[in-house]
């Protein structure tokens, strides 16, 4: 049994859809205290910080993950308000973005760390559609307020990488690790 150390509904859904047995638990880690400007450095340190905290809480098979978005100039984190979400989403409209996910896995006493990215090129977002999305509050808790499986899907011009990475957990690579460890 795998412990998903995350409160993310989307990560849980990815594991369910891959038929991976898991329970969802969480430990506290304050990623807001991290001050890295490089998105890769930030996401690795955030997911590893969660991993270290969860190892203290659970001595089992665990997985932690963190996801950020970069537009090449800034790290686009979770929006703190509706206006913040608008500002973050407008930085993605008509642009290329990288969605970067880092995950740490402890399975059968072995530790695996990964960083995966998916690159999206978006068409310009329709202003009315954007306002409707902002009103829906579906952006709450999402890295960069972005939902490639929802609002942003119709604006994808080009994509390189796995959608699951953009959703917060590269399930394709996790499955390879679990098969290697004979867990599935």
42-84 pLDDT per residue, tens? 999 999 999 999 999 998 899 999 999 999 889 998 999 999 9
Give CA–CA dist 149/139, Å, rounded.
Answer: 12
Give the position of tokens 């993950």.
65
Question: Which residues are part of the catalytic machinery?
Answer: 66
| pLDDT band at 1; cut points 50, 70, 90 | confident
- pLDDT at position 59: 80
**102-125 pLDDT, tens digit each:** 999 999 999 999 999 999 999 999
DSSP symbols for 116-127: EEEEEEEPPPPH
Task: Tell me which of 3.30.70.2740, 3.90.950.10, 3.40.50.2300, 3.40.50.720 is the CATH number of domain 2-180.
Answer: 3.90.950.10
- pLDDT at position 32: 81
Q: Is the pLDDT of residue 30 over 90?
A: no
The whole-angstrom distance between residue 179's C-alpha and the CA centroid of its chain comes to 22
Average pLDDT over residues 94-101: 97
For 55, the token pair is 């190892």
Q: Is the C-alpha dihedral spanning 166, 54, 109, 34 positive or negative?
A: positive
Query: With pLDDT > 70 as the criterion, what percentage of the chain qualifies?
Result: 100
Mean pLDDT of the chain: 95
């Amino acid at each position: 049994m795998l412990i998903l150390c995350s409160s993310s509904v989307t990560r849980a859904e990815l594991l369910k859809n891959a038929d991976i047995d898991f329970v969802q638990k969480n430990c506290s880690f304050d990623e807001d205290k991290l001050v890295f400007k490089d998105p890769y450095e930030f996401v690795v340190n955030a997911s590893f910080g969660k991993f270290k905290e969860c190892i203290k809480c659970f001595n089992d098979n665990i997985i932690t993950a963190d996801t950020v978005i970069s537009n090449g100039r800034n790290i686009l984190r979770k929006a703190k308000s509706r206006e913040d979400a608008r500002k973050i989403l407008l930085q993605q409209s008509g642009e290329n973005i990288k969605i970067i996910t880092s995950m740490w896995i402890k399975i059968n006493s072995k530790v695996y760390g990964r960083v995966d990215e998916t690159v999206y090129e978006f068409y310009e977002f329709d202003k009315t559609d954007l306002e409707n999305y902002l009103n829906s509050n579906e952006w709450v808790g999402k890295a960069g307020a972005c939902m490639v499986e929802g609002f942003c899907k119709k604006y994808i011009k080009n994509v390189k990488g796995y959608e699951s990475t953009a959703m917060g957990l590269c399930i394709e690579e996790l499955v390879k690790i679990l098969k290697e460890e004979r867990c599935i």
